């Protein structure tokens, strides 16, 4: 079930203001042109009487509208920006390079424009993303049994203290504190929306978070304190399953996760997390609706706290919780990422609708 759209006047004002709170949550269908757009579309604004607003891409297509070529509503916004696409491709090709603004200039781009574009789309600058990517290279060296000094050089850090500090900012501890024989093992998983840290045993996934989540160091410290064997570094079969399912999700092949999960929490929190997992891809819920569904209609704030305490991102889809008015609400991974995830999942719904509308061929071809 999707949220009820706000009234026409509210959404039309959001269209005029290019209000990104509704981006991916509502689309405008323009009768005079036959196209549908994001509310953030830079094109000239249509008259209000020519606008109808719909909650999903599938509804727009079913109503006979085609996607706008300016705002590309079928694509994630970042992928529609050729500058971002070119720089991400360059980063993939040279992950170990110590990128600087000079490198950006030599590629023919203005550093300030690039800085703003990446900050708007990813919540971090291109250079911050490049440093994070280098740190991943060092983390993976450690996971393969390499020494800290080798990991430091692999990550492109000249100073051991700088490498330890960068590592600790994300994981809350120095590299040497991670044991090779820990009962839980931490690993780094790359995704199109940023790198993630996964912590798993041989039987369950205990944590999955984007690396820049502010609460990540505290969450890892709590896991270390609760685990007698501490946290080591490396992958388990559960981590491999999680990585494969994340890859399938982002490639548009499967929106369902079956990785076995373990989350420590109260009976109330468990009820909230179970309800989150019942929200289908392409659907959303409000805090109030979740509270009603678990039989605690007055516990809306407690639901919000349990939602925020979830430490298995995507697989326990707290990103599918939105405001009662349909606007995006807080998300530990960043609102920009929440928007992208909802866009990806709405594409699953749109693709399913297209499959249903595809005419069947006769046996004779």
Annotated binding site for Zn(2+): 37, 41, 68, 71
- 351 phi, psi to nearest 5 deg: -65, -40
d(CA 289, CA 281): 17
d(CA 51, CA 31): 6
Return the percent helix, strand and coil in the chain, to nearest 5: 50, 10, 40
Contact 344, 251 (CB under 8 A): no
d(CA 221, CA 139): 18
Residue 37 falls in the annotated catalytic set: yes
At CA 214, angle to CA 210 and CA 216, rounded to 5? 60
Strands 205-210 and 196-200: what pairing?
A: antiparallel
Residue listed under structure tokens 């070119």: 86
Q: What's the token pair of residue 168?
A: 């600790």
Residue 318 falls in the annotated catalytic set: yes
First-residue to last-residue Cα distance in the chain: 38
Crossing angle, helix 216-226 and helix 160-171, to 10 degrees?
Answer: 80
Residues 6+ apart with CB under 8 A from 62: 353, 357
3-state SS class at 245 = helix
Burial zone of 172 (CB within 10 Å; 0-12 exposed, 13-18 middle, 19+ buried): middle
3-state SS class at 305 = helix
Contact 44, 84 (CB under 8 A): no
Closest CA to 141 of 234, 244, 238: 234
Contact 190, 239 (CB under 8 A): no
Q: Show which residues are catalytic.
A: 37, 318
């Amino acid at each position: 079930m999707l949220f009820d759209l706000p009234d026409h006047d509210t959404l039309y004002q959001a269209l005029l203001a290019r209000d990104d709170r509704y981006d991916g949550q509502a689309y405008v269908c323009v009768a005079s042109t036959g196209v549908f757009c994001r509310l953030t579309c830079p094109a000239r604004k249509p008259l209000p009487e020519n606008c109808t607003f719909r909650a999903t891409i599938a509804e727009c297509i079913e109503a006979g509208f085609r996607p706008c070529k300016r705002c590309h509503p079928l694509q994630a916004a970042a992928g529609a920006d050729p500058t971002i696409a070119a720089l991400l491709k360059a980063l993939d090709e040279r992950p170990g390079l110590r990128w600087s603004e000079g490198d950006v200039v030599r590629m023919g781009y203005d550093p300030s424009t690039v800085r703003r574009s990446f900050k708007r789309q990813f919540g971090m600058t291109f250079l911050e993303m490049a440093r994070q990517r280098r740190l991943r290279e060092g983390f993976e060296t450690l996971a393969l049994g390499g020494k800290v000094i080798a990991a430091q050089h692999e990550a492109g850090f000249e100073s051991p203290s700088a490498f330890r500090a960068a590592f600790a900012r994300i994981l809350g501890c120095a590299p040497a504190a991670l044991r090779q024989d820990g009962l839980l093992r931490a690993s780094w998983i790359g995704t199109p929306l940023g790198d993630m840290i996964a912590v798993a045993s041989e039987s369950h996934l205990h944590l999955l978070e984007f690396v820049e989540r502010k609460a990540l160091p505290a969450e890892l410290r709590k896991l270390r304190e609760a685990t007698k064997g501490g946290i080591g570094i490396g992958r388990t079969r559960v981590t491999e399953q999680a990585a494969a399912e994340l890859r399938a999700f982002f490639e548009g092949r499967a929106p369902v996760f079956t990785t076995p999960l373990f989350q420590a929490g109260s009976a109330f929190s468990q009820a909230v997390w179970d309800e989150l997992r019942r929200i289908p891809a392409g659907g959303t819920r409000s805090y109030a609706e979740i509270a009603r569904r678990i039989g605690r209609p007055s516990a809306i704030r407690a639901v919000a706290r349990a939602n925020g305490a979830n430490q298995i991102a995507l697989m326990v889809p707290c990103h599918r919780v939105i405001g009662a008015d349909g606007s995006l609400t807080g998300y530990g991974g960043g609102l920009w990422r929440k928007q992208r995830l909802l866009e990806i999942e709405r594409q699953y719904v749109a693709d399913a609708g297209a499959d249903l509308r595809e005419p069947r061929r006769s046996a004779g071809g």
